[in-house]
Structure 1
Amino acid sequence: MRVDFYQLSRDPAEAVLPLIARNTLKAGERLLVVSGREDQLGVISRELWGRVADSFLAHGFSGGDHDARQPILLSGEMAAGNGAKYLAIADGVWRDSDTGFERTFYIFDDETLQPARECWVMLGKRGGIDRRFWKQQGGKWVEGP
């Protein structure tokens, strides 16, 4: 399993997620986006429709009739009703899962920095997890030490 830690400094999670979602779809994968904040999921939904130039990223909210067909599913729960192997945690609150995600995008900001550090250490003690750290620098994402 791979966990990519994304430390926000300039853009909010709502602006970053459409780029992650687009790249996930380009890789032929499905994505589950999780946040405990319903308002944040609403903003993410709007951004998925228009953030990426000349395209929209088809998606739906979990609990609908067509969860299994959604390439991107927005949810407050860790249940991938769309069969996603990729997970994006948008609210900076780590959630353990036994649902077999291959890759997790853990997005956090200054308010959730300390829990993210604790998560980094905790995951480092587990076997079979490839951790990577990314930060915004000059408008680009760069891999940190």
Structure 2
Amino acid sequence: MGLVLFYQLTASTPDALARTLLPRALAQGWRVMLRGTDKAALDRLDGRLWIEPEESFLPHGMEGGLHDADQPVLLGLGPALNAAKAVLLLDGAEPLEGEVENMERVWVAFDGANPDRLQAAREQWKRIVAQGHKAQYWSEESGRWAMKAER
């Protein structure tokens, strides 16, 4: 059973968080599904991941290509077609049926300044904890990431 980590973004951007988490997951030997709800936002993120940071390369691809199953990091709107062991959920994306149980990590990143996203994340937290999954809530209010709650 995977661990679900909620990240309330107040200073960082989703792509900055992705550039932090994704290399760590790849170093563990995990493939990652990065799921969003907005294709245009994923396209922008895809572009940034190709050029930032300059000193490293993050292998990834957008869903719908010929090699989805081979991608270390697959960006898309749908299910993990790349045998992912971790999923990063952006823009209100939800874990799919059975996904939490089958992943090593599920990261839920949400805009802490958006009241609708904040409320949706609170509801996700309640559902995930009620289902008996381990969850942590992380905040960067102090200027660096700190765990604020764990269930």
Taking structure 2 as the reference length, what is the TM-score of the superposition?
A: 0.86
Matched-pair contact (CA < 8 Å) for 1:60–1:70:
yes
**Structure 2 residue corresponding to 1:120, chosen from 102, 119, 125:** 125
Instruction: Give the corresponding residue for 1:9.
Output: 10
Deviations along 1:92-131, one digit per CA (max 9) or x if unpaired, are: 332333242231000011320001111111111112x110
Give the Cα–Cα distance (whole angstroms) in 2 for the partners of residues 49 and 19 of structure 1.
Answer: 15
Instruction: Give the corresponding residue for 2:87.
Output: 87
- Shift of residue 59 of structure 1? 0.5
Instruction: Give the corresponding residue for 1:108.
Output: 110
- Aligned residue type for 1:141: W
Q: Does residue 142 of structure 1 match 2:146?
A: yes
What SS does structure 2 have at the residue aligned with 1:54?
coil
Number of aligned residue pairs: 143
RMSD, aligned α-carbons: 1.6
Taking the TM superposition and a 5 Å limit, the aligned residue runs for 1:15-26 are: 15-26=16-27
Instruction: Give the corresponding residue for 1:39.
Output: 40
Give the Cα–Cα distance (whole angstroms) in 2 for the partners of residues 46 and 63 of structure 1.
Answer: 16
Question: Identity, % of aligned pairs?
Answer: 32
Instruction: Give the corresponding residue for 2:98.
Output: 98
Compared with structure 1, are the counterparts of its residues 135 and 51 closer, same or farther at alpha carbon in structure 2 (3 Å cutoff)?
Answer: farther
Identify which range, 29-38 or 52-61, moves more after superposition: 52-61
Q: Which runs of 4+ in 1 moved over 4 A?
A: none
What SS does structure 1 have at the residue aligned with 2:66?
coil
- Shift of residue 138 of structure 1? 4.6
Matched-pair contact (CA < 8 Å) for 2:137–2:148:
yes
- Aligned residue type for 1:6: Y
Give 5+ residue unaligned stretches, structure 1. none
Give the Cα–Cα distance (whole angstroms) in 2 for the partners of residues 140 and 26 of structure 1.
Answer: 22
